[in-house]
Amino acid sequence: MSVLFVSGIDTDIGKTYATGLLAKALMQQGVNVMTQKLVQTGISKQANGELGIADDILSHRKLMKIPLQPCDLDFTTCPYRYEKPASPHLSAALANQPLDIQMITEATKALQADYGMVLLEGAGGLLVPITTELLTLDYIAEQDYPIVLVTSGRLGSINHTLLSLEAIKSRGLTVHSIIYNHIHDDAEQTDAEITNSTIDFLQAYLAHHYPKAHWLQLPYIEIASTDTISSDCCLSLPKDFI
């Protein structure tokens, strides 16, 4: 289990915060861990006209409280970066820069050679098309990566979570963990009764159908950017997490 794939039930569910803080928690347990981004879209061009380091990688390092690493600077942690904020298959087509999935696989293997664990964050949900021929979950199934699924308490999350779990099961993959992200627990966005009911339902569902899966909770973080996150904010991991 040297690679964990971090996905979410939808876009903007908090995968990046979960990935960065999970990496930080693993570091605190003495794990030599690095994060990787499958593909990043929506990157602004720099002054020289080139696309820089993936935004999510920058966020990971800030959350981990470490500087950018050599593997970030040479883009091993995110080989494919596109300007258009869209599904990877469309962003790649518009940029006329086809994505070679083997290059991502080789990047992951290079990181595995230097780190004890790699957290590979996806783009969007599990069935997002990486190319016109390959869905994200198809690729993860080929690699047989265990999955960390990020969910929340916003209305519709139960349905989206169960659909994601069914998709994972259909590929014969392992649900390693569910991270319940309280990112949407702002009183103006989320009904407390729905949030509490969602937690109760999902915990009971996992206990019955996925008893070996870990249940983690990412506390609500009131932030303007990753720079404002408190240094003591992290995930609490069980001893048998890895």
User: Which residues form the catalytic set?
Assistant: 37
| Pairing state between β 175-181 and 147-151 | parallel
Burial (0-12, 13-18, 19+ Cβ within 10 Å), 49:
exposed
Burial of 221 (0-12, 13-18, 19+ CB in 10 A): middle
Q: Hey, which bits of the chain come out as E strands?
A: 3-8, 33-37, 117-125, 147-151, 175-181, 214-218
Nearest residue to 108 (alpha-carbon basis) of 95, 122, 98, 90: 122
Instruction: Give the DSSP per-residue string, 88-104.
Output: HHHHHHHHT----HHHH
CA distance 83 to 49: 11
CA–CA separation, 24 vs 184, rounded Å?
Answer: 22
